[in-house]
Amino acid sequence: METKYEKKVNTGSIFRNDYKRQDSHPDYKGEVNIHGELMDIALWENKTKKGNVWFGVRVSEKREAKPLMDELQGPPYAKPDISDSDVPF
């Protein structure tokens, strides 16, 4: 039996971003429930000149994940508007 986990108000979860391909991509990603609204959270791990670690944080409105295949397929095929009178033979 599958149950959907609900985050308590003002709590969240964050995981290492295994899909990071560029420095601009976050090191960690997750979700937080802020005052009852589910939000996305992203963290970038940084180091000071002395070697101390600190995190840059961004919280944004929740985005729906798009399946990869939708991005690869492009826009739906539009059937051209051709009638029999347009055919020369």
pLDDT score of 16 more than 90:
yes
User: How far is Cα 43 from Cα 15, in angstroms, rounded to an integer?
Assistant: 10
pLDDT score of 18 more than 80:
yes
CB-neighbour burial class of residue 26 (10 A; exposed 0-12, middle 13-18, buried 19+): buried
**Contacts (Cβ under 8 Å, ≥6 apart) of 29:** 14, 15, 17, 40, 41, 42, 43
- Would you state the pLDDT for residue 12? 93
58 inside domain = yes
pTM above the 0.85 mark? no
68 inside domain = no
DSSP single-letter state for residue 87? S
79 inside domain = no
Arithmetic mean of pLDDT, 25-54: 95
Domain extent, residue 11, equals 1-62
86 inside domain = no
Query: Which residue, among 56, 52, 64, has the nearest Cα to 23 in the 3D structure?
Result: 56
Number of separate domains in the chain:
1
81 inside domain = no
User: How far is Cα 45 from Cα 55, in angstroms, rounded to an integer?
Assistant: 5
